[in-house]
Amino acid sequence: MASRALLSVKVCPGIRQVSMAHLDLDERQIERARKAAGNIADSVLRFAKEHSTVAIERAVLRLMGVEGADADGVPLPNRVVDVALKEGILGRGIALYFGNCLSKVGDPVETAKAIADKKIGLKEDFSDDRARDEAEKALKKGIARIRETVERRRALLEKLGDGGTRPLLYVIVATGNIFEDVVQAKVAARAGAQVVAIIRSTAQSLLDYVPEGITTTGYGGTYATQANFRVMRQALDEISFELGRYVRQCNYASGLCMPEMAVLGAFERLDVMLNDALYGILFRDINMQRTLIDQAFSRVVSAAGEIIINTGEDNYLTTADAVSAAHTVLASNFINEAIGKRCGLKDWQLGLGHAMQMNPMMEDMFLLEVAQAQMIRQIFKDCPIKYMPPTKYMTGNIFRGHVQDAMFGLASVITKQGIHLVGIMTEAMHTPHIHDRFLALEAQGMVMNMARHLGDEIEFKKGGIIERRAQEVLKKAMEMLEQIEKEGLFTALEQGRFANVRRSFTGGRGLEGVFKKEEGYFDAVEDLLLKSLEGQDETMGARG
């Protein structure tokens, strides 16, 4: 049942879905959990505010108009930041020094080339006032570019809608060749996909630069580049007009280039981006300081770009037991919600993750999964919750896999999830083929259509298995958050509180790219981005 605000938008009923079925959850425990999560978020963001990273400084250059690479293929943002590092001046922020040079050269790309080729020095004839003025002018142009993409998305959704049905059916393509991805994406859209995610090439998250240009090779996925984003955006716009409904594009704002990816996604009108520091810490061993600082900046950019972020809690239960560790997913959801909102994201942009990962051979497994799904849907009622399929227990038995995915679809439609990552029966064997994806979309569409309003017709037994399970998980999540509130998120990550994975405060990849801001650091970037949010429609989830 959509809210009145969402119903006022005729073209599309919104991502929010609220089930008529209701679990009796202790609102005081939810309030305590949110309070603890808020204090955790404040502590993390205070730390982030005092620091920057090489990736944030490169993202700032991209906002100022720097793009392209040198003759050796090294991205120009990397070249400029490397110069500032060697000269020991990055502590005040690259925007100031680049603004100073920009005032003399005029064009951002030519300015970057001149700095890289040492034709002009970052400190040459430096004027603080002139540098700030030029930096702000260039940044405002970049932010205006983001706003143009936002308005274009709004116009397309107003004109085409997005099909209206919820949850949105989300599928992946992952060929390594962007042009082959386009073929598969169009086929998937014609088969019913509403969100197409282009899986990133294996280990790209560990590259400390963004590859340049169109790519046709990649292992386990396709390189995420600005040019590839643009190719897919054009293709999905074409299929959107063919089908008469807007098809959303998804990629990654994560890894060592998280801030830059957020900027490029905002420039090229990506609609959904995977964005979660905890995922990078736990599953990619990216240093926790580095990626939590990067995440704060990237979420401000995503807020300005009206991008829906997806968080990675759905992966926790691939390494931890889904029954005993379910509360860690909910606890992380609360933390991601708190950090996201403090970075300017609205409820409709918070695609908090969870997954159906219990052993399908366990008695009453489906009841416990419905409890988890309904609980999360109910607590985050205005968020487009992202539900991940049962990948952990997929095998070479594609028939059993198809049944598991059908049950997953039933749980999803009963509890009215926002974004449904379509499970594909062959994913345990190989990268799915076009026909595998077609069969999966057909099955999910059938299950959801036949049970579309089942959640409005049922009630959960008071004190029954489902309700007791949800109450237990909520209580454990609240207690976990209050413990993390006392010890700090960094300590919790060191102790392996999430996904049974321990990480070091000073270990992992990327720590060398972290630095403390010096006095006089140019701190206007996030302020300008947040200012661009003024007047943003609180109910844009109806369209975006």
Predicted local distance difference test score (pLDDT) of residue 536 = 65
Predicted local distance difference test score (pLDDT) of residue 260 = 98
351 DSSP β-pair partners: 310
- Residues 6+ positions from 41 with CB-CB distance below 8 Å: 335, 338, 339, 342
- Residues 6+ positions from 272 with CB-CB distance below 8 Å: 170, 195, 197, 248, 249, 250, 307, 308, 309, 310, 351, 419
Give residue-wise pLDDT tens across range 70-110.
999 999 999 999 999 999 999 999 999 999 999 999 999 99
Predicted local distance difference test score (pLDDT) of residue 533 = 83
The mean per-residue pLDDT over the stretch 241-247 comes to 98
Strands 514-516, 51-53: pairing is antiparallel
Lowest mean pLDDT among 194-208, 222-236, 526-540: 526-540
Q: Which of 274, 270, 275, 269 is nearest to 297 (CA)?
A: 275
Structural element, H or E, at residue 404 = helix 398-414
Per the model's pLDDT, the better-predicted residue between 433 and 158 turns out to be 158
Share of the chain above pLDDT 90, in %: 91
User: What stretches of 311-450 adopt beta strand conformation (E)?
Assistant: 350-351, 353-355, 386-388, 419-421
Predicted local distance difference test score (pLDDT) of residue 19 = 53
Give residue-wise pLDDT tens across range 266-300.
999 999 999 999 999 999 999 999 999 999 999 99
- Position 135: which residue type? A
Give residue-wise pLDDT tens across range 225-239.
999 999 999 999 999
Q: Is the CB of residue 296 less than 8 Å from the CB of residue 52?
A: no
Q: Is the CB of residue 144 less than 8 Å from the CB of residue 138?
A: no
Q: Is 2's pLDDT higher than 70?
A: no
Q: Is 190's pLDDT higher than 90?
A: yes
Reported pTM: 0.94
353 DSSP β-pair partners: 386
Output DSSP code: residue 200.
B
Catalytic residues: 279, 314, 386
Give residue-wise pLDDT tens across range 12-54.
334 555 556 799 999 999 999 999 999 999 999 999 999 999 9
pLDDT, mean over the chain: 94
